[in-house]
Structure 1
Amino acid sequence: MKYLAHYDKDKGYDQTLSEHLKAVAEMCTEMVPNVVKFKDIDNDIIKCLAYNIGFFHDIGKYSDYFQEYLVGNYNGSYKNHAHISACFSYLFLLDEAKWRYKNEILRYIVTYLCYIVVRMHHLSLTLDRLFTIEGQDLMWQELNVIRQNIFENQREILADLSSIAPHLKDFDFSVYLDLQRLKKNKHFINMPQLLKMGRFADDQWYFFLIYMFSLLVDSDKLNSAELVHRSTKSISPSKVVNYLAFKDKGNVDKTLLLKRENARSEMINIVDSLTDEQIKNSRFFIITAPTGIGKTLSSLQCALRLQQRIQDVEGYVPRIITAIPFINIIEQTRKEYENVIGDQANLVVHHRLADITSNIKVDEIIPVSKALLEMEAWEGDVILTTFVQLFQSIFTGRNSALKKLNKLAGSIVILDEVQAVPEKYMSLVGATLQKISEYYGTRFILMTATQPKILEFGDQLLNNHEYSSKRTVDLFPSSETYFGQLKRTKFVPVLEEEMDTDKFIEFFMEKWNALKSAVIVVNTIKRSVEVFYALKSELKRRGIDTPVYYLSTNIIPIKRMSVIQEVNKLLKANKSVILVSTQTIEAGVDLDFDMAFRDFAPLDSLVQTAGRVNRNGQKGQYLPVYIIKLAHDSDYIYHLFNRKLTMDLLRECTEVYEWQYKTIVNRYYDKILNLGIPQESKNIWNEGILKLDFNKIQEFKLIEDLSDVYDVYVEKDENATFLANEFENVIIGRGDYANCNSFERKALLRNVMAKMNDYIIQVKGRKVEKNLLLNFENRNGVQSSLRWISPKDISKLYDEETGFKFV
């Protein structure tokens, strides 16, 4: 009999089960770098476990019930294969690895976690309701029927398996299909409860479980899609040098170029100066540098040089993963990376709105469904992603999110603007980065202008005040000198009284010079629209023709890009221009104004706004960043403590010069650190990670709850209409999409949605209801969670300058 793992009748495709098991086992093993190890499990054991989990994960597919299900003749519960495979692998690993562990209980814990990996590999990770009182009888009955069927066919099955593993020729299935042995095993039945009670509380078990689960799910899905795991390619650091020479050609600001070159050279020299032993042991590399110093390319070159050193010292090529806090700045980083890497390696860009086809090389022929799988699995040499994708792949039990987690192992991870991690999670994230570096052998480059002491926060949670400092290398020790020389901007706090919009406009006109450019950053969309129209009105009244632009998430993304480009063009031409914005401007937008007006916010946000003024230091010295207080707007956005702490620090002086920013930021984070561990971090670590409670772990939300926020599609031009039509065609399988299977349709839908995002804004539920926004279904009857502004409603509901009109 030909035993199959997968079968597609329509496409005439099948995959033999023995081929699948062998390929998944080998892929699971080869994806484990030599640096992965846990406190009680060394690398050899990890690879042994990975191989056997991969080999036996689908052993239950040898049942006649599953084989009949594949060809469409059976659809009962006996087709289920994951649980019987998990039982088989549990008994096999329990016996096979007796000699490998320090004690019996360690063997039972590790083997049980491997059982969970196999049992749940088509689902999401959980220890809930694995053995329920009401479901026990039915569960064992189902397992017994499948067991009996496999046992009866063991001669044919062993013959099939021996073609890929000759040593299994005399394998005795009865030993590993002994369900009575499992029932009598108290460690097997009681282990979920013991783990959840914290009887064996140890952070290594969480990171072991999600890693092994990720290995299996990733390998299984790649092989099922006829894809292979590719070895990581190294990239020469000289590619950065070559690109910079091209990019900086013709730049007249030699002083700035020299500063950037000196800073970059210092960082590379630090990497070069490390001994082989330091390369082995160092896990964190810190770059604390002011805006405009060229951190993006400097950190990439450091990562590439570190990649070379690791290859020489540890014998493997680490993948490079860069995570950025916000989607709206990922494209500018992508362009820089593409210019550096070229065709030498495979760059994968992965975020919620990523265009799948942009990850396919021009000369590649690959279906979009497979391109989606490779993108979601981070199958690339360099990965560019978001904080959400990174951290939601760590603090989760979801199958699809965990799939890529194993790619962190042995990698170099650049965390750009690490201060964007919410303070309530800094302890949790700091501790997690330390544990991932320890167990997975991951190196981290932490990069920011306002280093938030995230590792010290982690030390607090781990009650270990030595680990991070011993394994940390400062790549830019001259940062103090650089910060001390900065004279680009200064904070001018004007916080004696609160202002309304009219009062602010009066203040703005008093401080602003009509020949100068200015950015105004406020805390709410409502206030930003008010200020925009009030300012335009005041300028018109005074006969001043300076252009005023508007930027916030209230306007569609394609318009945001247009605004940034137009404003940048005027700024580069030294023209007077005013931009009214929300915090959107803080997210790495490369604009350079003469002055700024910032509604009150925590200190790190104020520093980010200052980074949009006199970025290159060519406009003079100590250009002002006025800090004002617009009513109680900041109360709705920021926590009380952060506001109070910032207010106290700012009230100590009439002006804060740029060379003082680093000192005041350090004081800010020291005070937060002294408060102790935030409850949110403590709960997820102690109740979630230490007790393997995935419900508690999934309380981690990097972005605040969006349950009351709707995606609204603004159909405002022909391209928007074309994309909406394509969206409908894919969903209902019309036209070119009529013969697509569910996987292909998912990938195509994802790709269309990525393009549709240019026309999507997020609107709060109460505003949606007040404005009676239509469901997308009203367009042509196609079901979707989107709301919709039709072409005929554009003038009523959407303003070309300020976006969505709300009551």
Structure 2
Amino acid sequence: MRYVAHIRRKDGETQLVRDHLLEVKALSEESGSKLRVGHLAGLAGVLHDCGKYSDEFQEYLREAVAHPDDLSKRGTVDHSTAGGRLLLEFLSDSPTEKMLAEIIGNVIISHHGGLNDYISPVSLETPYYRRVYEKELPEFEKAKERFLTEVLSEKELQNYCAKAIEELHEFINESKSYGRDAANFLRDIDLLTKYLFSCLIDADRTNTRLFEEDTEDQSWDRTRFFSDSLTALEHLLSSFEQNTAQQSRINILRQKMSQQALEFASRPSGIYQLSIPTGGGKTLASLRYALQHAKKFNKERIIYVVPFTTIIEQNAQVIREIIGDTYLLEHHSNVIEDDFSFQEFEPNFQEDHFNLKLAKDNWDVPIILTTMVQYLNVFYSKGTRNVRRLHNLANATIIFDEVQAVPIKCLSLFNESVNFLKNYGRTSLLLCTATQPALDYVTNGLELAEESEIVRQLPKVVEAFKRVQIVDKTQNKAWGQADIVGFSREIMKHATSLLVVLNTKKAVREVYKQLVLEGFPETAIYHLSTSMCPKHRKNQLEEMIGLMKNNQPVICVSSQLIEAGVDISFDHVVRSLAGLDSIAQAAGRCNRHGSEPIKEVYVINVSHELENTDKLLEIKRGAAITKKLFSTLKNIQGKEGESETFDLLGPAVMKRYFQEYYAEFKTDSNYFINEIEANLFDLLGSNKFLRSALLQDKGINYPLFLTSSMKTIGKYFRVIDNQTTSVVVPYDKEGDDIIALLNSDPEVSELTKLLKRAQQYSVNLFDQEIRVLSQNGLLLPLYKGDGYYLSDRAYDKVYGVNLEGDSQMGMINF
């Protein structure tokens, strides 16, 4: 009998279970080998669909083909538990083999949802144990016999398990060599489990996609790509050096730091720091390091991780001009979600989500630009879509641009992921920012390399780059719209450009409206916020830059999105009081190229009525610490007066700021969840308190070796406190076209391209915004209801998303 795993939708061709398992095994081995765990990953691959050898599954599949419109039995056949149970029969009860069975067993049984808890908080249930040890599998013996006959014989599987056991032994010994204690070791085991899960998910989906498309995967010559890209970058930098018109003091300093980054790239992989001041050529210097390092150490890809989508847009444009667009991916968010963790999802004939699940979404390109949200989701979010990308973070060069923006609650989890990639993934990680945070200062700190800083004599470099002075106006009364507009008018009497940066979108909109209402003759006034899609913001920035090059007056009112990664320069900046790092980033948009004498960055105290930051705890506390530093430095310098000037942007002051900032949040960095009265960081690893609770509350000795609660972590993990949903917006004709095409049931290959294009036309909205838009009839279904797009009436050409649906068109220009 022919045992079938999948049936191709377009022509009815079948893929046999044997072929699918062996092909997924091979792909899993390839991904696992980057962590020296190819057999561990291959074991998950070869066993994951063992249950498809049951008669029940084969009948289910035949019925699905014969009756494609009958949805009553969809997802009802459990075909993954059998693989986890079969594994138990080939492993002993020794600690290492018991651990291996639990790691690979969890990976196998979870591959259509998300990794299961070994033990769950509150309920103290043991989902993995119930599934693998206790669930009735009437056809298990039959499926096992067919597997051992067709795929691997009993002896072959025993030999393969022996190789996997040896790999786990080596992983344990490697952990010991790093001096990891028991708690840290078990967290490493959990992240290893996540990594193996990633290998299986990507291999399974890739193999199924290739079968469905009836094609082979396309590879790329990374050695040649990185070499050619480095040559192109060196040619560009050489042209800068030969251009005598560009040999200013600032540009000479940029060239020196870029050269230092190139030389540093010859060091082995580790966690390093690149503390180039704002406007110091950070993007090109970090790219130079990354390309040289990738070339020398045969890295597979370069990944830029940034806090704001605006940095993606700016960096992508710079990199695209050097290497082209073919091998570059901008990944802002998941335009369409595919969380199927609530059910045993079966990607087969006539499945509504089939194309979405198989779309190539695994970061398998040479250069990726993504956000901190997406990076952390790869490790800790629920479901299978994000974790699929994890194995592609190994043997890579990862650049964390503006790393100081890691949310406080995520610090321990972030540091754990970075340390894991450094220790086991042979990944090189570069913390790239002008305001280097003290991430080695916190309780669960980063394992920085010795002599980790790339820029030599950093204090002198910062002093040489000084182009602005901070003017403290926070001692004045709290400012409202009228005060900010009046002050802007005074500044524009002697300037041609001004940037006003405020802490909330509401404040940005209100000040923009007031500026327009009062009128500034012959001045273009712009609004920027995250309510606008990336393409919209990009167009606005390009317009502003064009006007300023022609010395036409421009005022821009923006949220903090403009503070990092945006290569634009204003004569003056007004910044609402915030953390010192944010003020330094805003200062980087002032006199950026040092073409003018020292310019002023004014820090103001905005009224609570205009700018309510009560729910923005990190901004509020950061502002309080900055204000305290202002006062302290004034006392030290013996200055008096309401509005004094002094330098706050040096490394020593910045280090002091971050140490006070992290001390303020010392108890908040492990991601505490009130609902379960536990830290997510503590649920990763030993979880001793749950083991004890199980014995005390239920009188049950915990039956497993591993104790983590990864499904619970995924359930509660959010990088941003308020849940956001990515929505495609109808900005310009291309936005309209993307929406229409996504609603036309595209093929798998076309869907992949559309999702990539849609990144430029998406906006992340909070749940309350989604509700208002839905109530107003402005939120419409996208791609079979798995996503959303906005009505034309809900997108404004000035403000972006308009919840009321009365959008207006055009930029205000007097």
Alignment partner, residue 64 of structure 1: 55
Say whether 1:115 aligns with 2:98.
no
Deviations 1:217-258 (A, max 9, x none): 111111122254847612123332123345777682312332
User: CA separation of 1:585/1:634 partners in 2, compared to 1, >3 Å: closer, same or farther?
Assistant: farther
Alignment partner, residue 682 of structure 2: 686
Contact 2:626 2:657 in 1 (8 A): yes
User: CA separation of 1:18/1:472 partners in 2, compared to 1, >3 Å: closer, same or farther?
Assistant: farther
Deviations 1:61-103 (A, max 9, x none): 22232233333379598842210111112322x15xx8xxxxx
Contact 1:599 1:634 in 2 (8 A): no
Alignment partner, residue 773 of structure 1: 776
Alignment partner, residue 566 of structure 1: 543
Q: Superposition pairs for residues 183-262 of structure 1, below 5 Å? A: 202-226=186-210, 228=217, 230=219, 233-234=222-223, 235-236=226-227, 237-245=230-238, 252-255=245-248, 256-262=250-256
Shift of 1:524: 2.6
Amino acid in structure 2 at the alignment position of 1:765? Q
Pick aligned residue for 2:322 from 340, 361, 377? 340
Q: In the aligned structure 1, how far is the partner of 2:764 from the partner of 2:133?
A: 51
Q: In the aligned structure 2, how far is the partner of 1:349 from the partner of 1:648?
A: 39
| More divergent stretch after superposition (625-634 vs 558-567) | 558-567
User: Identity across aligned pairs (percent)?
Assistant: 24
Q: In the aligned structure 1, how far is the partner of 2:559 from the partner of 2:157?
A: 68
Q: In the aligned structure 2, how far is the partner of 1:70 from the partner of 1:304?
A: 48
Alignment partner, residue 332 of structure 2: 351
Shift of 1:490: 0.9
Q: Superposition pairs for residues 524-543 of structure 1, below 5 Å? A: 524-540=504-520
Alignment partner, residue 299 of structure 1: 286
Q: In the aligned structure 2, how far is the partner of 1:346 from the partner of 1:64?
A: 44
Alignment partner, residue 648 of structure 1: 628
SS of the residue corresponding to residue 631 of structure 1 reads coil
Contact 1:777 1:783 in 2 (8 A): no
Alignment partner, residue 713 of structure 2: 697
Q: In the aligned structure 2, how far is the partner of 1:696 from the partner of 1:331?
A: 34
Contact 1:591 1:612 in 2 (8 A): yes
Shift of 1:450: 0.3
| More divergent stretch after superposition (426-435 vs 256-265) | 426-435
Contact 1:773 1:789 in 2 (8 A): no
Alignment partner, residue 555 of structure 2: 578
Contact 1:69 1:79 in 2 (8 A): yes
Alignment partner, residue 454 of structure 2: 475
Q: Superposition pairs for residues 394-433 of structure 1, below 5 Å? A: 394-433=379-418
Say whether 1:487 aligns with 2:474.
no
Q: In the aligned structure 1, how far is the partner of 2:83 from the partner of 2:525?
A: 65
SS of the residue corresponding to residue 334 of structure 1 reads helix
Contact 2:359 2:749 in 1 (8 A): no
Contact 1:456 1:468 in 2 (8 A): no
Asked which structure has the greater RCO (Cα within 8 Å, sep 6+), the reply is 2
Q: In the aligned structure 1, how far is the partner of 2:111 from the partner of 2:785?
A: 33
Say whether 1:520 aligns with 2:500.
yes
Alignment partner, residue 5 of structure 1: 5
Amino acid in structure 2 at the alignment position of 1:258? I
Q: Which has the higher helix share?
A: 1
Contact 1:286 1:472 in 2 (8 A): no
Deviations 1:112-154 (A, max 9, x none): 1111111111221112689979999999897442124336x64
Alignment partner, residue 271 of structure 1: 265
Say whether 1:591 aligns with 2:553.
no
Q: In the aligned structure 1, how far is the partner of 2:805 from the partner of 2:409?
A: 41
Alignment partner, residue 675 of structure 2: none
Alignment partner, residue 47 of structure 1: 38
Contact 2:363 2:392 in 1 (8 A): yes
Say whether 1:389 aligns with 2:374.
yes
User: CA separation of 1:660/1:550 partners in 2, compared to 1, >3 Å: closer, same or farther?
Assistant: closer
Deviations 1:742-768 (A, max 9, x none): x579657746754653xx584773797
SS of the residue corresponding to residue 429 of structure 1 reads helix
Amino acid in structure 1 at the alignment position of 2:99? I
Alignment partner, residue 653 of structure 2: 664
User: CA separation of 1:781/1:219 partners in 2, compared to 1, >3 Å: closer, same or farther?
Assistant: closer
Deviations 1:703-746 (A, max 9, x none): 23136x89585x5766665555445x42xx5xxx5xx5xx5796
Alignment partner, residue 444 of structure 2: 461
TM-score (norm 1): 0.78
How many residues were matched structurally?
707
Alignment partner, residue 195 of structure 1: none
Alignment partner, residue 608 of structure 1: 585
Pick aligned residue for 1:147 from 128, 136, 140? 140
Amino acid in structure 2 at the alignment position of 1:336? V
Unaligned runs of 5+ in 2: 66-72, 162-181, 211-215, 337-352, 635-642, 672-678, 688-707, 797-801
TM-score (norm 2): 0.77
Shift of 1:470: 4.5
Contact 2:81 2:109 in 1 (8 A): yes
Q: In the aligned structure 2, how far is the partner of 1:126 from the partner of 1:134?
A: 7
Q: In the aligned structure 2, how far is the partner of 1:718 from the partner of 1:383?
A: 26
Q: In the aligned structure 1, how far is the partner of 2:271 from the partner of 2:220?
A: 24
Q: In the aligned structure 2, how far is the partner of 1:792 from the partner of 1:644?
A: 36
SS of the residue corresponding to residue 399 of structure 1 reads coil
SS of the residue corresponding to residue 197 of structure 2 reads helix
Q: Superposition pairs for residues 720-759 of structure 1, below 5 Å? A: 722-727=737-742, 729-730=743-744, 733=745, 747=752, 750=755, 753-754=758-759, 756-757=761-762
User: CA separation of 1:218/1:232 partners in 2, compared to 1, >3 Å: closer, same or farther?
Assistant: farther
SS of the residue corresponding to residue 717 of structure 2 reads coil
SS of the residue corresponding to residue 225 of structure 1 reads helix
Q: Superposition pairs for residues 312-351 of structure 1, below 5 Å? A: 317-342=299-324, 346-351=327-332
